Amino acid sequence: MEVARPLRMSFPDINEDDVRAVAEVLRSGQLGLGPRAEALGSELARRCGVRHGVAVSSGTAALHMIVRALGLGRGDEVLVPSFTFAASVNVLLYEGATPVFVDVDPDTCNLSPAELECKVTPRTKAVMVVDAFGHPAEWDEILAIAARRRLQVIDDSCEALGAEYNGQPLGRFGRAAAFAFYPNKQITTGEGGAIVTDDDEIAGLARSLRNQGRDEMGAWLDHARLGYNYRMDEMSAALGLSQLARLDDLLARRRRVAELYGERLQDVGWLAPPVVRPHVRMSWFVYVVKLAQGFHRDPVIGALAQQGIPARGYFNPVHRLPHIREVLGGRDPDLPVTEALAARALALPFHGGMTEDEVDRVVEGLQRVRKKL
């Protein structure tokens, strides 16, 4: 009797072309500061329809350099969701800017434009927009508010490579956008990320900042400014280029798994599948369901684990983290939708290699859990 393979929460989609691309770099001897990192940035920019792409060591590094390039710092407020990964807020703290938390839409989990406008003060200088779980934010409304209030806009699209809003690829909105390529993302470089932008100054600063502050035309050990080691190595870039060449296929594989889940969960009354607005192209990052009122995700996670089915809470709100509470002086912001999602949003096992049988195992596990709760 064949034993079913263990269910994985996520898993990178690696093929032999990827392996050969990395092996080729290893054989070349040029492992850093080479052509592949530059090519990856250029190809990402081309796909996003902008002039510049800068490959870096992580999505966090990309966001940090955007914040730095925009000159955000002490005394500046930046509007940001709390329902996000901690890096979206940490990069503001690196530069001394003050995060001001904005509630989210209960369906898409993205920034609520109405809540956004309510939080603007004379000290507000920018907004960090997160395209949660691969679903684009409401960009038309957000950009209109930003223009009216003279706010700079950063697109944290680390979870949404390949997504589109009204037919336009993410990466074109705001002053600059960041992508991330951790192994659970749409494409992976192992660790890695990138900035894409039409802004010449941001791109130039990013290229300098990622390389210890050296100017592109400067001498080898000349440093024009304080910088970082945020470079992407050539092995990672080679893997990213190979993966990016089949991005459409990787997105289609993830979409197939999401559709399988959607078909099987549509009649499960105690949870709701993800909402995808008709004017967007979803780029599936994780598959997050919302439990009905009266259910809490923690007992569900525990009951699934007893069946060998992993599940995760997405997200634990950033404003609850100890270092953020310290910044806020112990005060809890008024974020009712975020708090409700923190109790009831649940990520199921999800990656492009999942089989129909594996999706069925997860859904059957959920049905068994319901009988116990």
Q: Which positions are catalytic?
A: 185
Using the structure block, give the residue that is written with the tokens 């969701």: 81
Per-residue burial over 297-318, b if 16 or more Cβ lie within 10 Å, else e, is: beebbebbeeeebbbbbbbebb
Under a CB-based contact definition with an 8 Å cutoff, are residues 297 and 313 in contact? yes
Q: How far is CA 204 from CA 12, 156, 209, 257, in A?
A: 32, 19, 9, 40
Q: What is the DSSP secondary structure assignment for residue 215, as one 8-state letter?
A: -
User: Helix, strand or coil for residue 171?
Assistant: coil
**Given strand 271-272, what is the order of strands in its sheet?**
271-272, 287-291, 345-348, 312-313
For residue 179, is the peptide bond before it cis, meaning its omega torsion is within 30 degrees of 0? Answer: no
Q: Name the maximum alpha-carbon separation found in the chain.
A: 68
**Given strand 124-130, what is the order of strands in its sheet?**
52-56, 193-197, 176-180, 152-156, 124-130, 77-81, 98-102
